[in-house]
Amino acid sequence: MTRILDNLEMLKNIIRRKPFGLITDMDGTLSPVPHDILQKTVPPATLPQLTQLVNRFDLLAIVSGRKTEALKDIVNIEGIKYIGHYGMEWWENNQAVMHPDVIASLSSMRAVAKELEVLRSVDGMIIQDKGATMSVHYHLSSQPEIAKQQILELLEKSPHIKNLRLMDEKTNIGIVPRVDINKGIAVTNLIKEYRLKGAIYLGDDIGDVPGFKAIRQARQNKDFDGLAILVTGPETTQEILNEADFTLNNVQETEILLNWLIDSTPARRKV
CB 245 within 8 A of CB 219: no
Helix (H, G, I), strand (E, B) or coil at 74: helix
User: Helices 251-264 and 46-53 sit at what angle, rounded to 10 degrees?
Assistant: 30
Q: How far apart are CA 206 and CA 9, in angstroms?
A: 28
CB 17 within 8 A of CB 198: yes
Question: Could you list the pLDDT tens digit for every one of the 271 residues in the chain?
Answer: 799 999 999 999 999 999 999 999 999 999 987 655 666 678 888 999 999 999 999 999 999 999 999 999 999 999 999 999 999 999 999 999 999 999 999 999 999 999 999 999 898 999 999 999 999 999 889 999 999 999 999 999 999 999 999 999 888 999 999 999 999 999 999 999 999 999 999 999 999 999 999 999 999 999 999 999 999 988 899 999 999 999 999 999 999 999 999 999 987 654 4
All structural domains of the chain, each given as residue ranges with its CATH number in brackets, are 4-99+181-264 (3.40.50.1000), 102-177 (3.30.70.1020)
Q: What are phi and psi of 206, to 5 degrees?
A: -60, -30
Contacts of 54 (CB under 8 A, 6+ apart): 60, 77, 78, 79, 80
CA 237 to each of CA 1, 39, 240, 242, 243: distance values in angstroms, whole numbers, following the listed order: 12, 25, 6, 9, 11
Strands 164-168 and 126-129: unpaired
Q: How far apart are CA 38 and CA 40, in angstroms?
A: 6
CB 161 within 8 A of CB 172: no
Q: Which residues pair with 97 in a beta bridge?
A: 90
Q: How far apart are CA 69 and CA 137, in angstroms?
A: 21
The closest alpha carbon to 39, from 144, 137, 151, 148, belongs to 137
Contacts of 101 (CB under 8 A, 6+ apart): 177, 179, 180, 181
Q: How far apart are CA 108 and CA 261, in angstroms?
A: 43
Apex CA 50: angle with CA 214 and CA 28, to 5°? Answer: 60
